[in-house]
Amino acid sequence: MPDSLRIMQVVLSLAPGGTERLVIEICRRLAPGVESVVCCLDAAGEWANELTSLGIPVHALGRAPGFHPSLGRAIARLADRYHVDALHCHHYSPYVYGLVATLLGRGPGLVFTEHGRLSDQAPSRKRRRINPLIERFGGEIFAVSGDLKRHMVAEGFSDARISVVHNGIDVGPPVQPEDRARARRELGLDRSHFVVGSVGRLDSVKDFGSLIDAFAFASGTRPNWRLVLVGGGPEEEALRHAARARGVERKVVFTRFRADARRLLPGLDLFASSSIHEGLSLTILEAMACELPVVATRVGGTPEAVADAQTGLLVPPRAPQALADALLALAASPERRRAMGCAGRLRAIQHFTIDRMLDSYLTAYRRQARVSAVPAVAV
C-alpha cells in the first residue's frame, strides 16, 4: 500500500450543511497523509472554494433528475484519473453511484456513511427490496448514530454490515466572557436579554415553525427574551411570516447563513433544536462544547448526544408546548443551566471529538485500500 492514501469523497454538493462541513474537515485534517479529491453529483456548491484553495480538486457532475448509470461511469473515470484507493460516499445516492463506479472502474474500495433522513416517514419499500442485494458487493457501511442504523436495517441492510461512527467536532477551548460579549454585540443584543438560539438550514426537517411557536408560548410577556435563528434556506420567508403571526417578530433575529455560526453560540443562554429528524447534529455538539444547555426534540441520534436531564432536556417532536415548558424550566434556573452546560462540554470531549471520528474513517480507508489492490472483476 502506498505511503499516501488517495481517497475520493463523493457527495451531493458542497452547499452549506452539516455533512458538507464534515467532508471539508475530513479532507483538510487528514492531509497530507491522505490525498483527497471531491466529486459532487450535483453542483459544486458555495463551500467548494474552501477545498480548491487548498489544492484539493472538486468536480461537479451536474446530475439531472432520475437515475443515470452514466454518473457511475463518470465517477469511475475520475477515480482512475486520480488513482483513487477508495471512495467515501456520503448519503444514499452517492453510495449507489459509487457502487456502480467500483464495479465499472479499476476496483477502488468503498466506504459509505449515511448521515440522516429527510423526513420521519416509514422505511422505503423500494429500498427494502434493493438494499439486501447491493450490500453484497462489498465495501464498509456506517451510520452516524445508533438510531439511524436501526432505520437502515429497517430499509433492508443487514445489522452486521453497519457500524456506528458518531460525528465529531473540534471541541475547542472553553468559552470566555469576552466571547459572549462579542457574540452579543454582533447579534445586536445586550446583557439584559435572555437568548434562545438555534443553528441550521431553514428547511422543513428542522421544523423551526414549532420552535417559533414554542418561543411565543414561553416568552409571553417577557420583553427581554430573544430567539436567534442562524441559517438560510427555503423556509425563511414562511418562518418570518410565522413570527409576525405569533406576535414575536421583533423578538426573533434571523441572521441568514453565517459561515462563522459557531462564533455566535457563546451569545446564547440556551440552544434549542426542534427537528423532526436528525442523524447526529453537529450544531448540538458545538453548543455542548460551548457549555450551553440544550433543549431538543427526542429524534434520531439526538438522545445519543444529549443526556436528558443531565446536559439538557428532551421533548417530543412537533410539540411546541412541551418545548416551551422545557425552555421555561431552564430559564428559571441559572444554576441548572450552568451545571448542564459544564456536563455537556465534558460529554463532547469524552465521546464526540473529531479526532475519534477521523481515526475510525482512516482505519476504514486503509482496509479498503487493500481491497482496491486486488484486480477488479470486469463487468
Q: Write down the pLDDT at residue 3.
A: 60
In a domain, 377, yes or no: no
In a domain, 94, yes or no: yes
Residues 155 and 189 occupy one common structural domain: no
Residues 334 and 185 occupy one common structural domain: yes
Give me the tens of pLDDT residue by residue for the chain, a chain 379 residues long: 346 899 999 999 999 999 999 999 999 999 999 999 999 999 999 999 999 999 999 999 999 999 999 999 999 999 999 999 999 999 999 999 999 999 987 779 999 999 998 777 778 889 999 999 999 999 999 999 999 999 999 999 999 999 999 999 999 999 999 999 999 999 999 999 999 999 999 999 999 999 999 999 999 989 999 999 999 999 999 999 999 999 999 999 999 999 899 999 999 999 999 999 999 999 999 999 999 999 999 999 999 999 999 999 999 999 999 999 999 999 999 999 999 999 999 999 999 999 999 999 999 999 999 866 544 433 3
Backbone φ, ψ for residue 8 (5° rounding): -100, 120
How many domains, the chain?
2
Residues 342 and 204 occupy one common structural domain: yes
CATH of the domain at 41: 3.40.50.2000
In a domain, 378, yes or no: no
In a domain, 379, yes or no: no
Residues 154 and 181 occupy one common structural domain: no
Residues 211 and 321 occupy one common structural domain: yes
Strands 252-256 and 312-315: unpaired
Residues 9 and 85 occupy one common structural domain: yes
Residues 103 and 18 occupy one common structural domain: yes
Q: Write down the pLDDT at residue 376.
A: 44
Residues 302 and 218 occupy one common structural domain: yes
- In Å, what is the CA distance from 139 to each residue of 89, 99, 111, 286, 372? 11, 9, 6, 31, 10
CB neighbours of 147 closer than 8 A, spacing ≥ 6? 300, 301, 303, 304
Residue 90, domain extent: 5-168+354-372
CB neighbours of 122 closer than 8 A, spacing ≥ 6? none
Listed in sequence order, the DSSP H helices in the chain are 18-30, 48-52, 70-81, 92-104, 125-134, 146-154, 177-187, 208-219, 236-245, 261-264, 282-289, 302-305, 320-331, 334-351, 354-372
DSSP state of 159: G
CA distance 278 to 66: 26
CA distance 234 to 355: 33
Residues 14 and 39 occupy one common structural domain: yes
One-letter amino acid at 282 equals L
Residue 29 burial (C-beta neighbours within 10 Å; 0-12, 13-18, 19+): middle
In a domain, 127, yes or no: yes
User: Is the whole model's pTM more than 0.85, yes or no?
Assistant: yes
Residues 162 and 213 occupy one common structural domain: no
